[in-house]
């Protein structure tokens, strides 16, 4: 009997629950009047920049004046696409998608872009977000004889558009958007046109750019994906706006009169890359200000400020600048471990955080440490990190969170399935502090988050349990 080698993909079932809010998807689109041979490569680059928004599957549809070809697969952008194949695909438009989904829903059938034929021509759709009424709409469509190939709410949107195709493109999209409810950013190729839509509250992000010295338009979930293809950010797609891009240029219209705005505040805290600008706000600046406000909220005598890589680092820099306590890199992150690295036993899982993050003994030994992270979800990672700091010789660990207490689930495209999983939903700050073993604990207050973001145009549902959409139907479809 030889050693039994277990392939890594065979032990997914042992993965522990993620201790972060997880984004559900990223979308990218590009349109050029004439076919070019690098359109698929540019879409690949855009998706590469959005990889942090989803690592489960990736897909690109290339369109050559209405003829669509899709490549998609499970895994990272760099694993799914073959550059030799992509470079052979000539087209005038492309859309792309990266997907994250909860454990158990991983399948190629749910990978996007999704495809349907309609009387408007072939439709390819990529979606970021989550519909709150998808269950009911899917049931109605199924009663009408619609056949579904995936378990995603995105396919509900695709079928609604296809069913309304006889109304013409604008009316089909308008009517669909007034039927669905939730947070969504959509990019679609319909026939020979590129269409982009953002939900009526602007919950999920979407921006428009243009490649310098060209007539090539680009759309992406985040502006960092425009940078990578040499495009300039023109503006964000507005809440409730539909853009149709074709050889006449960009046509804008609104499918709703809704005046309320509720962009996801968590994009700034954790999801988006710090080099992105969303709805006019620089993500890096927001995180830095969160650190500064944290330092003002509660002073502490300490020797060093350390950020938890990656999304706690900018807030830690802000904290250090405001408090005058020096910043140092006290945690080193392994670059080669995906978020779903799998370990088959509890004892190995206990050590998993060490595989991801290693404390720098020479930085923390004998020091009073302020440890800054972006948010606290289940508290399991925080507890391990604080123990790692103490094991490395820290004499005190003061834990700071650059967001308010996460107390409630998200219904708009972010993976927190149950309120019971959130430590702040059932413990006070003092109880959490004891539970994670910190010397002190503080969260950014909601008021200070509002001061930083400016105004009340943001969704705060996961902090307050007050959601920008009144009636929320609970869905069983996969989010995307
Ligand atoms: S509930 Fe939280 S994560 Fe979800 S959209 Fe609102 S702010 Fe974002």
**What's the CATH code of the domain at 64?**
3.60.20.10
Number of structural domains found in the chain: 2
The per-residue pLDDT for 15 is 38
Same domain, 244 and 307: no
Which tens digits make up the pLDDT trace of 204-259? 999 999 999 999 999 999 999 999 999 999 999 999 999 999 999 999 999 998 78
Do residues 101 and 128 lie in contact, with contact meaning Cβ atoms separated by under 8 Å? no
Q: Is pLDDT of 2 > 50? A: no
User: Counting atoms of ligand 1 from 1, which one is nearest the CA of 183?
Assistant: 5
Phi, psi of 451 (to 5 degrees): -60, -40
Same domain, 112 and 70: yes
Task: Please check whether residues 303 and 249 belong to one and the same domain.
Answer: no
Q: What is the pLDDT of residue 421?
A: 85
189 and 56, same structural domain? yes
- The mean pLDDT of 406-413, rounded to a whole number, is 89
The closest of 201, 209, 242, 183 to 49, measured between CA atoms, is: 209
pLDDT of residue 470: 67
Domain assignment present for 374: yes
Measured CA to CA, the distance from residue 425 to residue 332 in angstroms comes to 30
Q: Which residue is closest in CA terms to ligand 1's atom 4?
A: 410
Label residue 357 by pLDDT band (50, 70, 90).
confident
* Cβ(61)–Cβ(189) below 8 Å: yes
* Residue bearing the CA closest to ligand 1, atom 5: 264
Please report the atom of ligand 1 found closest to the CA of residue 406.
2
Tell me what pLDDT residue 18 has: 56
For 316, phi then psi, to 5°, come to -65, -40
Which is more confident, 378 or 448?
448
- Most ligand 1 atoms within 8 A of CB, residue of 262, 460, 461 to mutate: 461
Report the pLDDT value the prediction gives residue 480, as an integer from 0 to 100: 59
Residues 308 and 396 in one domain: yes
Whether 253 and 391 map to the same domain: the answer is no
Does one domain contain both 225 and 291? no
Separation CA 119–CA 121 (nearest Å): 5
Residue 124 lies inside a defined structural domain of this protein: yes
CA–CA dist 369, 383 (Å, integer): 15
CA-closest candidate to residue 338, choices 100, 151, 128: 100
User: Looking at 206, 240, 258, which one is the last position of a domain?
Assistant: 258
Ligand 1 atom 8 nearest Cα? 264
Question: Could you give the dihedral angle defined by the CA atoms of residues 473, 477, 478 and 479, in that order, rounded to the nearest 10 degrees?
Answer: -30
In a domain, 6, yes or no: no
Closest to 124 measured CA to CA, from 151, 96, 146? 96
Residue ending a domain, among 213, 239, 258, is 258
Residues 170-196 pLDDT 10s: 999 999 999 999 999 999 999 999 999
SS3 at position 471 = coil
Nearest in space to 469 (alpha carbons), one of 27, 26, 130: 130
Residues in the chain: 480
Q: Find all residues with CB under 8 Å of 189, minimum gap 6, and list them.
A: 29, 61, 63, 68, 93, 94, 95, 122, 123, 124, 195
Residue 107 pLDDT grade (very low, low, confident, very high; cuts 50, 70, 90): confident
pLDDT exceeds 60 at position 349:
no
SS3 category, 187:
strand
Per the structure, the complete domain to which residue 315 belongs is given by 285-454
Residue 279 located in a structural domain: no
Residue 478 inside a domain? The answer is: no
- Atom 2, ligand 1: which residue's CA is nearest? 462
Q: In percent, how much of the chain has pLDDT > 70? A: 88
* Ligand 1 atom at shortest distance from the alpha carbon of 458: 7
Pocket lined around ligand 1, Cβ cut-off 6 Å? 21, 183, 203, 264-266, 410, 412, 414, 459-462
Asked if 47 contacts 58 with a C-beta cutoff of 8 angstroms, the reply is yes
CATH number of the domain to which 412 belongs:
3.40.50.2020
Paired tokens of 365: 């030994």
pLDDT digits (tens, 9 = 90+) for 137-146: 999 999 999 9
309 shares its domain with 185: no
- Ligand 1 center from residue 295 Cα (angstroms): 25
- The whole-model pTM stands at 0.90
Using 50, 70 and 90 to split pLDDT, how confident is the model at 12? Answer: very low
User: pLDDT-based confidence at 94, cuts 50/70/90?
Assistant: very high
Mean pLDDT of the chain: 89
As given in the structure block, the two tokens for residue 45 are 């680059």
Inside any domain, residue 181: yes
Residue 25 is a catalytic residue: yes
111 has a pLDDT exceeding 60: yes
Question: How far is ligand 1, taken at its centre, from the CA of residue 454, in Å?
Answer: 17
Residue 408 CA, closest ligand 1 atom number: 1
Judge if 196 and 341 occupy the same domain.
no
Query: From the alpha carbon of 461, which atom of ligand 1 is closest?
Result: 1
DSSP state of 156: H
> In sequence order, what are the beta bridge partners of 304?
369
Q: Select from 128, 131, 261, 265 the residue to mutate for testing ligand 1; criterion: most ligand atoms less than 8 Å from CB.
A: 265
Q: How many whole angstroms from 99 Cα to the centroid of ligand 1?
A: 18
Sign of CA dihedral 251, 217, 202, 181: positive
Of 25, 177, 207, 224, which is the active-site residue? 25
The DSSP 8-state label assigned to residue 267 in this structure reads I
Measured CA to CA in angstroms, residue 88 lies from 34, 118, 228, 230, 453 at distances of 16, 27, 21, 21, 44
Q: Which of 24, 46, 37, 97 is nearest to 217 (CA)?
A: 46
Do 251 and 291 have their domain in common?
A: no
Give yes or no: residues 253 and 289 share one domain.
no
Nearest ligand 1 atom to the CA of 463 is 2
Whole-number Å distance, alpha carbon 214 to ligand 1 midpoint, is: 36
Distance 463 CA to ligand 1 centre (A): 8
Mean pLDDT over 19-29 rounds to: 80
Based on the fold, state whether residues 230 and 291 are members of the same structural domain. Answer: no
Give the whole-angstrom CA distance, residue 217 versus residue 30: 6
pLDDT exceeds cutoff 80 at 473: no
Give the H/E segment covering residue 382.
Answer: helix 380-391
CA of 410 to the centre of ligand 1 (A): 5
How much distance in Å is there from the Cα of 64 to the middle of ligand 1?
37
């Amino acid at each position: 009997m030889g050693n039994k080698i277990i392939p890594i993909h065979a032990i997914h079932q042992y993965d522990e629950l993620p201790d972060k809010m997880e984004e559900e998807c990223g979308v990218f689109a590009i349109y050029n009047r004439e076919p070019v041979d690098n359109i698929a490569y540019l879409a690949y680059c855009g998706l590469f920049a959005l990889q942090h928004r989803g690592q489960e599957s990736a897909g690109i549809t290339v369109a050559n004046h209405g003829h669509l070809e899709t490549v998609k697969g499970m895994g990272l952008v760099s694993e799914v696409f073959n550059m030799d194949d992509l470079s052979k695909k000539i087209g005038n438009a492309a859309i792309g998608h990266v997907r994250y989904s909860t454990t158990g829903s991983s399948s190629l059938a749910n990978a996007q872009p999704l495809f349907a034929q309609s009387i408007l021509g072939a439709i390819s759709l990529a979606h970021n977000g989550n519909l709150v009424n998808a269950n009911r709409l899917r049931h109605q469509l199924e009663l009408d004889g619609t056949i579904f190939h995936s378990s995603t709410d995105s396919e509900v949107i695709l079928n609604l558009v296809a069913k309304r195709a006889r109304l013409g493109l604008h009316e089909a999209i308008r009517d669909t958007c007034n039927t669905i409810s939730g947070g969504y950013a959509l990019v679609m190729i319909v026939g020979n046109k590129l269409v982009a839509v953002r939900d009526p509250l602007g919950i999920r992000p979407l921006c428009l750019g243009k490649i310098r010295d060209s007539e090539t338009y680009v759309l992406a979930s985040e502006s960092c994906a425009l940078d990578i293809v040499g495009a300039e950010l023109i503006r964000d797609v507005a809440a409730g706006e539909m853009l149709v891009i074709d050889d006449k240029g960009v046509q804008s219209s609104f499918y709703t009169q809704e005046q309320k705005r509720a962009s996801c505040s968590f994009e700034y805290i954790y999801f988006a890359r710090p080099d992105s600008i969303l709805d006019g706000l620089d993500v890096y600046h927001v995180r830095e200000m969160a650190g500064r406000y944290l330092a003002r909220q509660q002073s502490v005598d300490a020797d060093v400020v350390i950020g938890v890589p990656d999304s706690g680092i900018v807030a830690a820099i802000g904290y250090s600048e405001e408090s005058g306590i020096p910043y140092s890199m006290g945690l080193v992150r392994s670059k080669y471990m995906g978020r779903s690295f799998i370990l088959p036993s509890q004892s190995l899982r206990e050590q998993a955080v060490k595989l991801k993050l290693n404390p720098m003994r020479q930085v923390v030994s004998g020091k009073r440490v302020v440890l800054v992270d972006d948010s606290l979800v289940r508290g399991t990672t925080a507890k391990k990190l604080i123990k790692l700091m103490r094991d490395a010789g820290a004499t005190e660990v003061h834990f700071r969170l650059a967001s308010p207490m996460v107390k409630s689930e998200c219904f708009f495209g972010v993976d927190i399935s149950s309120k019971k999983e959130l430590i702040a939903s059932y413990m006070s700050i003092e109880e959490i502090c004891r539970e994670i073993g910190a010397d002190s604990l503080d969260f950014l207050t909601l008021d200070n988050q509002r001061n930083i973001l400016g105004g009340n145009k943001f969704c705060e549902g996961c902090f307050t349990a007050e959601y920008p959409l009144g009636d929320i139907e609970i869905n069983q479809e996969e989010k995307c």
